Amino acid sequence: MTDSPTPALTKPAFGAALATPAEGSAPAGAASVPLVVAIDGPAGSGKSSVSRAAAERLGYGFLDTGAAYRALAWHALAHGVDTSDATAVLEVFGDFDYAISLDTTDRWVRVGGVDVTAAIREPRVTDAVSGVARVAPVRHAVTELFRRLVASAGLPGVVVEGRDITTVVFPDAPVRILLTAAPEVRAARRSAELTDQDAAKVAAALHQRDAADSTVVDFLTAADGVEVVDSTHLDFAQTVDAVLRVVETTMGARDGR
């Protein structure tokens, strides 16, 4: 993908743009409304890496929605804002200029032209993100942004992952999956990812974030019509296969196969 995200989107609350997979990877005249595979799940369920791998196998785009909340937390911190102060968060949201790539092989996130792909994964951002994700007007505007990003992607499909995707952002998606895993397995996976941090501390932080986030969205219970994929006893490849089986079965049933 090139440096400049295209096409740019104009939107009322804040600026945003997206980049889609490299030319040639989407069929010419791709469906005007991409097929949405909506995947929810808590931290450590593997939803981000599993969703991306599933998108790759399907030849779809991938939208990591948590990146938007993380980028806003980064933006708030850059302005010296306490992210537990909803009014202050709303204020800096006014000039939140967000861009994200939907390309599975060329992922980046930018705020005001600054590449924040790595910075939004820093512990200081992770610690601050629940505060911004709790602000209702922010959630509404960001939800609309996600819908616009997907609608204008020019792709046959997009795998969208987050915490409220099957229930709030795309409740009518043809494929909706809740990816879960037992809490101790999720904590172990997270601490394996964050090798420089103490396992007990990682588990405590994960449980704390689950608790804070679950006051905003219930991402631990499957809504009606949502398929559960429990990865507690599955490795990564088996989890991706399980997700792809749900996609295949659901689309097959829909198409009368």
**The only residue of 37, 38, 43, 203 in contact with ligand DC, by rule CB under 6 A:** 43
Spatial strand order in the sheet of 175-180 = 61-64, 157-162, 35-40, 175-180, 227-230
Distance CA(76)–CA(171), nearest Å, equals 29
Tell me: is residue 27 an annotated ligand-binding position. no
Tell me: is residue 201 an annotated ligand-binding position. no
Tokens matching residue 96: 């939140």
Q: By CB under 6 A, is residue 176 in contact with ligand DC?
A: no
Distance CA(121)–CA(135), nearest Å, equals 20
Distance CA(253)–CA(257), nearest Å, equals 6
Using CB under 6 A as the binding rule, the residues of this chain from 115 to 144 that contact ligand DC are 129-130, 133
Q: Are 51 and 38 in contact (CB under 8 A)?
A: no
Tell me: is residue 171 an annotated ligand-binding position. no
Nearest to 155 by CA among 59, 39, 248: 59
Tell me: is residue 225 an annotated ligand-binding position. no
Local structure of 63: helix, strand or coil: strand
Interface with ligand DC by CB under 6 A: which range of 9-17, 65-73, 176-184, 198-206?
Answer: 65-73
Strand bridging mode 35-40 / 157-162: parallel
Tokens matching residue 229: 């994929």
Interface with ligand DC by CB under 6 A: which range of 95-103, 179-187, 213-221, 232-240?
Answer: 213-221
Q: By CB under 6 A, is residue 190 in contact with ligand DC?
A: no
> In angstroms, what is the minimal distance from the CB of 73 to ligand DC?
8
**The only residue of 141, 149, 187, 213 in contact with ligand DC, by rule CB under 6 A:** 213
> In angstroms, what is the minimal distance from the CB of 39 to ligand DC?
10
Nearer to ligand DC, 26 or 243 (CB): 243
Interface with ligand DC by CB under 6 A: which range of 22-30, 87-95, 102-110, 157-165?
Answer: 157-165
Q: By CB under 6 A, is residue 163 in contact with ligand DC?
A: yes
* Residue 133 half-sphere exposure toward CB, CA atoms < 13 A: 25
> In angstroms, what is the minimal distance from the CB of 68 to ligand DC?
7
Distance CA(210)–CA(97), nearest Å, equals 28
Tokens matching residue 129: 């993100």
Q: Are 229 and 180 in contact (CB under 8 A)?
A: yes
Q: By CB under 6 A, is residue 65 in contact with ligand DC?
A: yes
Q: By CB under 6 A, is residue 247 in contact with ligand DC?
A: no
Q: Are 89 and 132 in contact (CB under 8 A)?
A: yes
Q: Write each residue from 82 to 111 as x if it is in contact with ligand DC (CB under 6 A), else as -, in one continuous string.
A: ------------------------------
- Give the residues lining the site for ligand DC (CB under 6 A): 43, 65-66, 69-70, 129-130, 133, 162-165, 209, 213, 216-217
Q: Residues comprising the binding site for ATP?
A: 41-49
